[in-house]
Amino acid sequence: MYETQYHRASSVQDAVKQMEAAGEGKYVAGGMTLIPTMKQRLAAPSDLIDLRHIGEMQGITVSGRSVRIGAATTHHDVASSAALKAVCPALCSLAGHIGDPHVRHMGTIGGSIANNDPAADYPAAMLALGATIVTNRREIAADDFFTGLFETALEGSEIVTAITFDAPAQAAYQKFANPASRYAMAGVFVARRDDGDVRVAVTGAGANGVFRHGDMEAALVANWSPDALSNVSIDASELLSDIHADAAYRANLVKVMAKRAVAAA
Amino acid sequence: MGVEGIGARVARKEDKRFLTGKGRYTDDMSVPGMKYAVFVRSPHAHAKILKVDASAAKGMPGVIDVLDGKQLLADGIGNLICGWMIHSKDGTPMKMGAWRPLAHETVRYVGDAVAIVVADSVAEARDAAEAVVVDYQELPVVTDATKALEPGQPQLHPEAANNLIFDWELGDAAATDKAIAEAAHVTEIEIHNNRLSPNPMEPRATLGIYDNGDDHYTCYTTSQNPHVARLVMSAFYNVAPENKLRVIAPDVGGGFGSKIYIYPEEIVCLWASKRTGVPVKWTSDRTEAFLTDAHGRDHVSKVKMAFDANNRIIGLKVDTIANLGAYMSLFSSAVPTYLYATLLSGQYDIPAIHANVRTVYTNTAPVDAYRGAGRPEATYLLERTMETAARELGVSPAELRRVNFIRSFPHQTPVIMNYDAGDYEASLDAAMKAADWNGFAARKADAESRGMKRGIGMSCYIEACGIAPSAAVGSLGAGVGLWESAEVRVNAVGTIEVLTGSHSHGQGHETTFAQLVADRFGVPLDSVNIVHGDTDKVQMGMGTYGSRSGAVGMSAVVKALDKVEAKAKKIAAHLMEADESDIVIENGELKVAGTDKAVPWFQMALAAYTAHNLPAGMEPGLKEGAFYDPANFTFPAGCYICEVEVDPETGQTKIIQFVAADDFGNIINPMIVEGQVHGGLAQGIGQALLEGVHYDASGQLLTASYMDYAMPRADDLPSFQVSTSNTPCPNNPLGIKGCGEAGAIGSPPALINAITDAIGNNALTMPATPQKVWAAAQAAN
């Protein structure tokens, strides 16, 4: 790791101030990707501004079916929130299967979505839940937030402070883990609302990162059952290929995980 | 057996130290003035070095010096060598290309060391290493061994045309071809054995200390065989004469073969210590371990197995290409030859065998022994072929094996080995019973009803441990003898130190070797200490690999104990004015049989050292040494059965049960043996299901971290059912065969046979990842 300066921000405002004062600063909100990358000397921020201890970014609030999760909330806290489990158990389950206990006690939801790793779990949930990404400057619809591999709509010193969504009627997430890293090789989050609207979001598989699958959504709007997906074709040409899974296999996994998610919802 | 003697389930003495973080590993060693080394490594798989410019690096903060390969050459440090000479079938010797500890002309794989930076801290050394400017001229690259043999491919070493190191054969080609021509059935199959990274928990490390007062070197290193390291560094690498070089391998956290070899880093750190005048420590990071630890396996073989009309094997022909990587590592030539082709008879009575092996240079990390070393390659090939043949012949896999089992011993195979003892059917029967083989059909039907594909597979392995005797391995090309040494020192208060030339890096020697002594003299286990791993303390020994410590190392201890016992009885007889032949040793006392006269063990020891009252002419003291050279290998064998369920939608394999029924000969500590089997099974299952080294076409290592190299985790493994049915080895005093590698040898084919049974497609290679299993299952439909 190259030398870096660590700052623990006390507030969102303090964090922005620190970032703007830094030469090549970087926010850290758990550091589950950033710190290993720095250890490999593949990233060399001059300053690390830690968002994890900012009070206003903590905690989960559930009001009716309306959910707000502070961006610095750890995966463990999301996984074990009784209030959240009562309205959206799928998100608790997703959080409870990220990494291992160490990761779940360090990593945060804001860190995960701001990083937008193409194999991360949370981005699929954000898209499928139609979540709103709240920053210190604005609110961004999840559909507009994830813009490519490790790319988001965030600008400069902008900070994700919370995410909000209305809990769907039914939802589930199923992922097939990479045998080595145990990140998703294909993860599918399905969510159905009382008005019949369905969203299906796929992570781990897309060549351009997380995406929604319109054909699967349409098929499930017409018929909310795993079998409805049998005849939907998944275009392998838009999927990742690597030593663990080629695009054709990922296309198969996307459909299988989607069916299993519908069955589990 | 006593509660702490031979056969007792004694908890490991060393575990308190290991489990409470009190182990002392090489990286824990610290000496005054010590500095830290980082190696500059090639980012290219094949390139000419035009220039190494360290001028900027030398001026960076904390930097003591930067040294390169030209300086190393100028100081007369020798090439790394392969210590086992193999001749091609045309009589020419193997083509050993130059391996410089620091490359100064050509780099041949990603990770090849080019320079060493010594600095006040690791971070400063790393910063400076990045500032060393190496001007490379890239050369074309070949990573695949089969391709490397083709004309027109990049050439790695001028000595080796078409990258061929040797083209070797064993067995009778004409007789084998005749058997195939006359066969009622021939099974043909191509077998791939995947390349593995060894992944010991402790990465390699070394601390080189040069003392200019005595012109003496000390090398702390992560070694399985410190005396061999000293021998090779003295005799071949010209580091220092043996009496000026002390090698210490303290606690070592796993080796699996990868810490047998002497690597560039030990040599360069010793040399750099003299050059810089400071002790130099280097500790590998995990990426360096993936890049530079000697890999294992990487074979491609074509197999023909011939059967007569009664399903008896009449011939086996094997043509193997083995990838040895960029350079010949220390024992790399022995692994795909005498540790491999000699095991191709398996547990079967095969009248004619012929094996041809070509070894090849490629732009990849060197390949050498990895847990099992040659025997897993032979077993995987043979047991997949047997399973395939059973399916083709329409007979049960168990019956095909039974028909062909060797049933009388000793048995001379057509490939050198002479099996001394075994009962293969006993292991087969035990495994089938434990696995409820006969109930499989019902379990398969149940799985089918849940949409799962269930399969069952077996593997009947044999292996050879305690490679020996020295004269025989010498005649086959080994550069060393393969005996073992021991010294037993009885202290004046009766406590006992056993100095062994073998080396423990996870095997539990501090417990099992002590059990031998406790058993012999009836003294408490706690009064016995095992000393190993330091060339200044322990007499010359050959270290630990190939499951040799029990069969060879303990046999040397037994010989030394015999001598101690004889002298102790003489002293006791003298003290009690009894006849020496009437003395028996029980519960820590030397007694006159049939009387109530006794001398406590400690009193006899004290008498030996006070020397006030010894038999006339007897030397004082009680310390005896022995060297033991075995008469033969030992031949552990067994039957493994694996049952799996494959999810046809995803290709995910779940191991439902894994049964291991082994014959290890006599057992010193059943708990430690079970632990060895569990670990071996985990590694074999890792190879079969998860692990695989991948290089891309430019020679970059794609699996350079655990993000991409899949290691077995606890939840990948079932609860193992292990048992033993033992036939004692007739060739060593304890009847021991060895158990360190069996699990890794026997398990891969059992697992792959189970998966191919489940999906109905035999075209599957290791690791059987979900993607491959899914694709194979699709192809079968």
CATH code of the domain in which A183 resides: 3.30.390.50
| Residue indicated by tokens 């001598």 | B563
A179/B769 CB distance under 8 A: yes
> Mean of the pLDDT values across residues B113-117?
98
A249/B771 CB distance under 8 A: yes
B771 touches chain A (CB under 8 A): yes
* B693 CA: distance to closest CA in chain A (Å): 10
In a domain, residue B556? The reply is yes
B652/A181 CB distance under 8 A: no
B708/A181 CB distance under 8 A: yes
pTM above 0.95, yes or no: yes
| Residue B84, domain CATH | 3.90.1170.50
Pair A254, A180 in one domain = yes
B202's tokens: 């402790």
B702 touches chain A (CB under 8 A): yes
Mutate to test the interface with B, among A102, A241, A243 (most CBs of B within 10 A): A243
Pair B450, B534 in one domain = no
> Mean of the pLDDT values across residues B14-28?
96
Q: Given B651, B708, B774, which is nearest A180 (Cβ)?
A: B708
In a domain, residue B18? The reply is no
Nearest Cα residue in chain B from A119: B707
How many structural domains comprise chain A? 3
Pair A196, A254 in one domain = yes
List CB contacts (< 8 A) between A246 and chain B. 771
In a domain, residue B188? The reply is no
Pair B238, B320 in one domain = no
Q: What HEC string does B120-150 produce?
A: CCHHHHHHHHHHCEEEEEECCCCCCHHHHCC
Rounded distance between C-alpha atoms, residue B271 and residue B277, angstroms: 10
Count CA within 13 A, CB hemisphere, residue B430: 21
List CB contacts (< 8 A) between A180 and chain B. 690, 703, 706-711
| 8 A C-beta contact, residue B755 and residue B644 | yes
Range of the domain at A20: 5-50
Domain stop point among B628, B648, B672: B628
B770/A176 CB distance under 8 A: yes
| 8 A C-beta contact, residue B291 and residue B41 | yes
B780 touches chain A (CB under 8 A): no
Interface of B with A in 624-653 (CB under 8 A): 649-652
Domain stop point among A146, A166, A186: A166
* A54 CA: distance to closest CA in chain B (Å): 31
Pair A77, A140 in one domain = yes
Domain stop point among A147, A166, A185: A166
In a domain, residue B705? The reply is yes
In a domain, residue B170? The reply is no
Sheet hosting strand A25-28, strand order edge to edge:
A5-8, A47-50, A25-28
> Mean of the pLDDT values across residues B548-553?
93
- Using CB atoms within 10 Å of the CB of residue A231, give its burial: 0 to 12 exposed, 13 to 18 middle, 19+ buried: exposed
Tell me how far CA of residue B620 lies from CA of B495, B521, B567, B736, in angstroms: 17, 20, 10, 34
B710 touches chain A (CB under 8 A): yes
Interface of A with B in 43-82 (CB under 8 A): none
State whether residue A55 is helix, strand or coil.
Answer: helix
What is the model's pLDDT at position B232?
Answer: 95
Interface of B with A in 103-132 (CB under 8 A): 123, 126-127, 130
Q: At what angle do helices B555-576 and B509-521 cross, to 10 degrees?
A: 30
Rounded distance between C-alpha atoms, residue B122 and residue B38, angstroms: 7
* A181 CA: distance to closest CA in chain B (Å): 4
B706/A180 CB distance under 8 A: yes
Pair B434, B569 in one domain = no
State whether residue B558 is helix, strand or coil.
Answer: helix
Return the amino acid letter for B679. G
Q: What is the residue-averaged pLDDT of chain B?
A: 97
Pair B256, B329 in one domain = no
What is the model's pLDDT at position B2?
Answer: 61
Pair A79, A144 in one domain = yes
Rounded distance between C-alpha atoms, residue A160 and residue A116, angstroms: 12
Say how many residues make up chain B: 781
B14's tokens: 């060393």
> Mean of the pLDDT values across residues A190-214?
97
| 8 A C-beta contact, residue A71 and residue A31 | no
The rounded percent of chain B whose pLDDT value lies above 90 is: 97
A3/B123 CB distance under 8 A: yes
B675's tokens: 């632990």
A179 touches chain B (CB under 8 A): yes
| CB crowding B743-769: b at 16 or more within 10 Å, else e | bbbbbbbbbbbbbbbbbebbebbbbbb
Q: What digits encode the pLDDT tens for the residues A111-126?
A: 999 999 999 999 999 9
Pair A162, A188 in one domain = no
A243/B694 CB distance under 8 A: yes
pLDDT range class, residue B1, cuts 50, 70, 90: very low
Pair B432, B330 in one domain = yes
| Residue B738, domain CATH | 3.30.365.10
Domain stop point among B606, B628, B650: B628
How many structural domains comprise chain B? 3
A1/B123 CB distance under 8 A: yes
| 8 A C-beta contact, residue A76 and residue A105 | yes
Pair B252, B308 in one domain = no
Pair B596, B687 in one domain = no
Transcribe B605-616 into DSSP letters: HHHHHH-SS--T
Pair A198, A220 in one domain = yes
Domain stop point among A129, A147, A166: A166
Task: Give residues with Cβ within 8 angstroms of B676, minimum separation 6.
Answer: B507, B739, B740, B742, B743
In a domain, residue B740? The reply is yes
B501's tokens: 């030339």
A249/B774 CB distance under 8 A: yes
Beta carbon pairs, A and B, within 8 Å? 48
This model of the complex carries an ipTM of 0.96
Rounded distance between C-alpha atoms, residue B336 and residue B84, angstroms: 12
Pair A137, A210 in one domain = no
A180/B710 CB distance under 8 A: yes
Pair A142, A90 in one domain = yes
- List, in sequence order, every beta strand (DSSP E) within B308-445: 313-325, 353-361, 367-368, 411-412, 418-419
B123/A41 CB distance under 8 A: no
B771/A176 CB distance under 8 A: no
Q: Nearest to residue B265, comparing CAs of B118, B370, B371?
A: B118
Q: What digits encode the pLDDT tens for the residues B260-295?
A: 999 999 999 999 999 999 999 999 999 999 999 999
* A32 CA: distance to closest CA in chain B (Å): 13
In a domain, residue B588? The reply is yes
> Mean of the pLDDT values across residues B188-211?
98
| CB crowding B700-709: b at 16 or more within 10 Å, else e | ebebbeeebb
A243/B650 CB distance under 8 A: no
* A196 CA: distance to closest CA in chain B (Å): 28
Cis omega (within 30 of 0) on the bond before B151?
no
Question: How many Cβ atoms sit within 10 Å of the Cβ of residue B435?
Answer: 23
Return the amino acid letter for B244. K
Range of the domain at B510: 483-628
State yes or no: pLDDT of A86 exceeds 90. yes
What is the model's pLDDT at position B781?
Answer: 79
In a domain, residue B495? The reply is yes
Q: What digits encode the pLDDT tens for the residues B124-182?
A: 999 999 999 999 999 999 999 999 999 999 999 999 999 999 999 999 999 999 999 99
Domain stop point among B598, B628, B658: B628
User: Rounded to 5 degrees, what are φ and ψ at B751?
Assistant: -70, -45
Pair A45, A69 in one domain = no
Task: Give residues with Cβ within 8 angstroms of B709, minimum separation 6.
Answer: A180, B197, B199, B290, B691, B692, B693, B703
Q: What digits encode the pLDDT tens for the residues B29-87?
A: 999 999 999 999 999 999 999 999 999 999 999 999 999 999 999 999 999 999 999 99
A253 touches chain B (CB under 8 A): yes
Q: Given A40, A180, A256, which is nearest B649 (Cβ)?
A: A256
B523's tokens: 């003294």
Pair A147, A217 in one domain = no
| Residue A17, domain CATH | 3.30.43.10
Pair A104, A126 in one domain = yes
* A256 CA: distance to closest CA in chain B (Å): 7
Mutate to test the interface with B, among A4, A41, A244 (most CBs of B within 10 A): A244
Pair A64, A38 in one domain = no
* B650 CA: distance to closest CA in chain A (Å): 6
Nearest Cα residue in chain A from B771: A245
A256/B126 CB distance under 8 A: no
Q: Nearest to residue B353, comparing CAs of B304, B415, B306, B406?
A: B415
Rounded distance between C-alpha atoms, residue B636 and residue B665, angstroms: 7
